[in-house]
Structure 1
Amino acid sequence: MSADARGWPIRRWLTLFTVAQVALLLAALAGGGIALSNLTDARNRLLDVIGPQRLAAIQLSTALLNQETGVRGYQLGRQPAFLTPYTDGVRAQATAVAQLRELGAVPGTQIGDDLEAVQRAATTWQAAAAPTIAPGAAPVTQAQVQRARTLFDSVRSALDTQLAHLGAIRDAGRADLDAAGSFLTAMLVAVAVLVVLLFLVLFLGLRRVITRPILQLAGEVRQVADQDVHRPVHGSGPQEIAQLGADVEAMRQRILDEVAELERAHAMLDRRTRELERSNADLEQFAYVASHDLQEPLRKVASFCQLLQKRYQGLLDERGEQYIEYAVDGAKRMQVLINDLLAFSRVGRKPGDHVVVEAGRLVDDAVANLDVALSLSAGKVDHGELPEVRVEPALMTAVFQNLIGNSLKFKGETPPEVQVAAERDGDDWMFSVSDNGIGIEAEYAERVFALFQRLHTRNAYPGTGIGLAMCRRIVEHHGGRIWLDTEAERTTFRFTLPATENTVGTHDAGS
């Protein structure tokens, strides 16, 4: 190979080999297409024409045999029910003849002539048998039986001839199909051999011009990746490979710049992490202050307001006593609000141990905590078999307690009935808590989970508006999600929890 040829661009080499390969492949594919077309035609003729023709001929033979059986049975027993095979055979004969006509059994063709012969023989036999099966016909004589047997032998002979010709046509079709398959196989082998030869020539021809420079460039890149990222990369050989080497060198420089930027980003991230840790420590300190220092003045305000209320009861006018009640109620609600905020902020901050526990036990604990509310509302909580889940028991008990407590709080005119159930949903368990309460409009389905969001006044229903927000935070802390099912007939909250490994094969749980 001359030096000028080795200096060709890769595009020129690829164009040369591509043109030669395409030309030869097109010729081979054309032969393969012809072979495939022949195979398809032979197969379609065998499956769509010859096979159905033979099947229809067999059905015709069966129909005529059934007719002959029915006639002989009637002649012997003289019972009208014995003619059922005959009448069914007549209908089946008409259907089979129609199918053969549709499949090409027309006069002038061999199968058409065979069909005509069968029909003539069958018509002659049927004409001879008709008087013997007519209503009120005299008993059949031996001569009539012998004549009917002779005529039906002619029918059998015509049917055998028809089936023999169709068998020969089927054999010829199979032979055509085998020949077309052999030809197609030969063409595919030729194409495979041609492709192998072409790729062999392509490999040997381009190895010296392209492969060696690429391997050299790959070796330099590997040294940079494994040993020294600061080592420059140089490309050689054809113009494209030399340009590739330059691009790799430019990429190496960009990687060095990005690594330096990443190191600066890591340093900044470490600094931000330390600041976040200090911020979390401040939040922990705030939680301590809120749980101790802030609640002490509230308790003092509430205590002194209650002392005022007790000491000056009856001495103040109605408005004064009302003001004192407002102060006491406000202090108590502030204590409840602070406690709820503390509980909300602590979810996930100091995670406890996740243990496998039966969800039914968590529901029972929540119901036990709500014993007073259940008694006052005359409510009822039911649950069937519930699965085992890996959770923090205290937090998940709080979820059930909040959801069941809301069902007892927002009850209708009838005593509340709460149903807790679970069913398998892919890799999760989907729990549902439904009740017969006053319900929630679909437009508030997302709002109810927001912090401090209430749909009713405090005078109508007590609470701080944190319960459902805490439920969402706890469920999401466990890797699940919670929502209001707006399509359910009853008020239904649903949430998911990941299934534990030992419950993968269990059945769905529910009531």
Structure 2
Amino acid sequence: MNLPQRLPASRLLGVIVVVLLAMTAVAISSTVIALDVLGSSRSRSVDQVEPAARRANDLNRALLNQETGVRGYTLTGQDDFLTPYLEGQTAEAEAVTSVRDLVGDVNGRLGRIEDLAGQWRSEYAEQAITAIKLSGPVAGVAGNIERGKVLFDQLRAEVNGLQSDIGGLGRQARADLDRAAGVVMWLVIGMGVLLVAVIGGLSLLLHRLLIAPLANLARHTRQVASGDFEHEIDADGPSETVQLGEDVNAMRRRIVQELATLDAAKSELQRSNSELEQFAYVASHDLQEPLRKVASFCQLLQRRYGGQLDERADQYIGFAVDGAKRMQVLINDLLAFSRVGRMTREQTVIDLNDLVRQVVDSYSDRIEETGAQLDIAELPSVRGEASLLSAVFQNLISNALKFKGTEAPVISVGVEQDGGMWKFTVRDNGIGIESEYADRIFVIFQRLHPKDAYPGTGIGLAMCRKIVEFHGGTIWLKTDVDSGTCFEFTLPVVPELVAQAAEEVHV
């Protein structure tokens, strides 16, 4: 089977189809021929032999009518008895013609019947009729009666023989009909057996040539897909299956190479993360301590010698104090940004209503100072880290308070369920953000205003995106707003809470 298994599946199927078509053509042709023979046998039996037998009986009655008419006329001399004789001759001629047309001159009997009937009429019947018309009944025919009886007995013997021969033709026709019907029956049975055999053989062949190789390839592929990338795939069967196996093998080798590259990259990434963690440690300890000293001594100089030196010296000291403070804020923000997703705690179900309420309370002074109005909808509970999600709302609400317009800030927080996600909206009536900066604002250190115009390090929105994505959501700036700024972000729905809420509503 190795040679045909390497043939293309399309060629194998083509060969199978050609063989099936040839077998079907032979079976149909044989059946058509048998049915034609069956039809011919039935037609001969029903349309020829049986009508011929009936016409032979008509012929016998026509001859008997003639004999009866002549006998009655010879006894009585009445002309009424000649009517059956004359009508019998017409019926005889029609019956002979019909039998000849249907089955031919069977063994020459029709010819002999016509000759004997003519001889009987000429040598007996016509002479008797003429003699009676001339000399009266009985007297003129006594000598010919015996001759007429002999001729008519011979005629009846031929008619009986004709009927017997036609009966033989009928039996032969019925035998032919039965034989043809038997052939058709055996052909139908044979076609049924052949069909079952072909279907069974075709099933076995397809299983051997197509299904089994594909199942074998699928088994090898599943073993590779389960993680055994070193497993070699050995495919057999048609050339398409073999080629598919080779392609999967090539893909497996490519995956092995990519995994080797990824392992190297992973090692490098782990080394970089280790260095980043070391940097974070240094930044949080080694850099913070001297920076606090610089800031403390600069503030001490500012308090002790402020106003004692010239104006430029006071300005320089102010610059130093401001720079030290901003450096502290920047380092703290960088540390917080680097910890997101790296230093994780156990995620719990958080009531965002309490969380946002705490955020708003922390900005109560700023809210009172700006006269801000907050409209916060009923918020759901989600699963996550409270400190991180709190940072998201802190950044968005503080930005709304920071980048306010000429009017008092109006801040709204809304939510709606979108499939398996909660979609939150934080909107304000501030100065807004141009749509061209919709992606740039989420990049770390990207500021749209000079640092002396608005305070901040440019890390807040980048941290929001990192936190939201860490919790399985997405954040974006909605650009199709008339005025102000509108941020939207998603967080996953907690299925058990939704089911519990549905049960409570049902109750």
TM range (shorter): 0.5 to 0.7
Q: Is the 8 A contact 1:17 1:202 kept in 2?
A: no
Shift, 1:474, TM fit:
0.6
1:374 corresponds to which residue? 367
AA partner of residue 466 (structure 1): I
Of 273, 276, 282, the residue aligned with 2:269 is 276
What's the TM-score once normalised by structure 1's chain length? 0.54
Q: What does residue range 139-150 of structure 1 map to in structure 2 within 5 Å?
A: none
Whether 2:287 is the aligned partner of 1:294: answer: yes
Of 475, 491, 501, the residue aligned with 1:497 is 491
Shift, 1:329, TM fit:
0.7
Shift, 1:13, TM fit:
3.6
CA deviations on 1:86-113 (whole Å, 9 max, x unpaired) are xxxxxxxxxxxxxxxxxxxxxxxxxxxx
Aligned partners of 1:199, 1:355: CA distance in 2, in Å? 70
Aligned partners of 2:216, 2:452: CA distance in 1, in Å? 77
CA deviations on 1:195-231 (whole Å, 9 max, x unpaired) are xx9999666326436734742786688779589x889
Shift, 1:357, TM fit:
1.5
SS of 2:444's equivalent in the other structure is coil
AA partner of residue 329 (structure 1): D
Of 403, 419, 425, the residue aligned with 2:418 is 425
Of 436, 444, 466, the residue aligned with 2:437 is 444
CA deviations on 1:23-51 (whole Å, 9 max, x unpaired) are xxxxxxxxxxxxxxxxxxxxxxxxxxxxx
2:344 corresponds to which residue? 351
Aligned partners of 2:212, 2:432: CA distance in 1, in Å? 71
Q: What does residue range 271-420 of structure 1 map to in structure 2 within 5 Å?
A: 271-420=264-413
SS of 1:504's equivalent in the other structure is helix
AA partner of residue 486 (structure 1): T
Of 451, 458, 462, the residue aligned with 2:455 is 462
SS of 2:489's equivalent in the other structure is strand
Aligned partners of 1:198, 1:383: CA distance in 2, in Å? 81
AA partner of residue 419 (structure 1): S
Q: Is the 8 A contact 2:423 2:488 kept in 1?
A: yes
What's the TM-score once normalised by structure 2's chain length? 0.55
SS of 2:350's equivalent in the other structure is strand
Question: Does 411-420 or 326-335 show the bigger shift?
Answer: 411-420
Shift, 1:345, TM fit:
1.3
Q: Is the 8 A contact 2:213 2:241 kept in 1?
A: no
Compared CA separation, residues 439 and 207, structure 1 to 2 (3 A): same
1:478 corresponds to which residue? 471
Compared CA separation, residues 276 and 320, structure 1 to 2 (3 A): same
CA deviations on 1:138-187 (whole Å, 9 max, x unpaired) are xxxxxxxxxxxxxxxxxxxxxxxxxxxxxxxxxxxxxxxxxxxxxxxxxx
1:11 corresponds to which residue? 14
Aligned partners of 2:439, 2:216: CA distance in 1, in Å? 57
Q: What does residue range 65-214 of structure 1 map to in structure 2 within 5 Å?
A: 204-205=197-198, 207-208=200-201, 211-212=204-205, 214=207
Shift, 1:503, TM fit:
4.0
Aligned partners of 1:199, 1:422: CA distance in 2, in Å? 70
Q: Is the 8 A contact 2:372 2:409 kept in 1?
A: yes
Compared CA separation, residues 20 and 438, structure 1 to 2 (3 A): farther
CA deviations on 1:409-436 (whole Å, 9 max, x unpaired) are 1112232222111111121111111122
Aligned partners of 1:211, 1:482: CA distance in 2, in Å? 58
Q: Is there any run of 5+ residues in structure 2 with no aligned partner, and where?
A: 1-6, 26-189, 224-230, 503-507
Compared CA separation, residues 434 and 247, structure 1 to 2 (3 A): closer
AA partner of residue 476 (structure 1): E
Q: Is the 8 A contact 1:387 1:503 kept in 2?
A: no
Shift, 1:476, TM fit:
0.9
Compared CA separation, residues 456 and 203, structure 1 to 2 (3 A): farther
Compared CA separation, residues 331 and 230, structure 1 to 2 (3 A): closer
Aligned partners of 1:331, 1:232: CA distance in 2, in Å? 68
SS of 2:452's equivalent in the other structure is coil
Aligned partners of 1:493, 1:290: CA distance in 2, in Å? 32
Shift, 1:398, TM fit:
0.6
Compared CA separation, residues 21 and 362, structure 1 to 2 (3 A): farther
Q: Is the 8 A contact 1:379 1:415 kept in 2?
A: yes
Shift, 1:471, TM fit:
0.7
Q: Which has the larger radius of gyration?
A: 2
CA deviations on 1:309-334 (whole Å, 9 max, x unpaired) are 22322232222211211111111111
Compared CA separation, residues 252 and 344, structure 1 to 2 (3 A): same
The RMSD of aligned alpha carbons is 3.9
SS of 1:293's equivalent in the other structure is helix
Shift, 1:441, TM fit:
2.3
1:106 corresponds to which residue? none
Question: Does 486-495 or 261-270 show the bigger shift?
Answer: 261-270
Compared CA separation, residues 231 and 366, structure 1 to 2 (3 A): closer
Aligned partners of 2:259, 2:233: CA distance in 1, in Å? 25
Aligned partners of 1:338, 1:497: CA distance in 2, in Å? 29
Aligned partners of 1:331, 1:338: CA distance in 2, in Å? 11
Compared CA separation, residues 439 and 248, structure 1 to 2 (3 A): closer
Q: Is the 8 A contact 2:442 2:462 kept in 1?
A: yes
Compared CA separation, residues 263 and 361, structure 1 to 2 (3 A): same
SS of 1:487's equivalent in the other structure is coil
AA partner of residue 494 (structure 2): T
Shift, 1:496, TM fit:
0.9
Q: Is the 8 A contact 1:348 1:477 kept in 2?
A: yes
Q: Is the 8 A contact 1:217 1:233 kept in 2?
A: no
Q: Is the 8 A contact 1:417 1:436 kept in 2?
A: yes
Aligned partners of 1:475, 1:232: CA distance in 2, in Å? 46
Shift, 1:384, TM fit:
2.6
SS of 1:448's equivalent in the other structure is helix
Compared CA separation, residues 281 and 20, structure 1 to 2 (3 A): same
Aligned partners of 1:393, 1:456: CA distance in 2, in Å? 31
Aligned partners of 1:446, 1:330: CA distance in 2, in Å? 29
- Report % sequence identity: 48
CA deviations on 1:62-109 (whole Å, 9 max, x unpaired) are xxxxxxxxxxxxxxxxxxxxxxxxxxxxxxxxxxxxxxxxxxxxxxxx
Aligned partners of 1:348, 1:420: CA distance in 2, in Å? 25
AA partner of residue 285 (structure 2): H
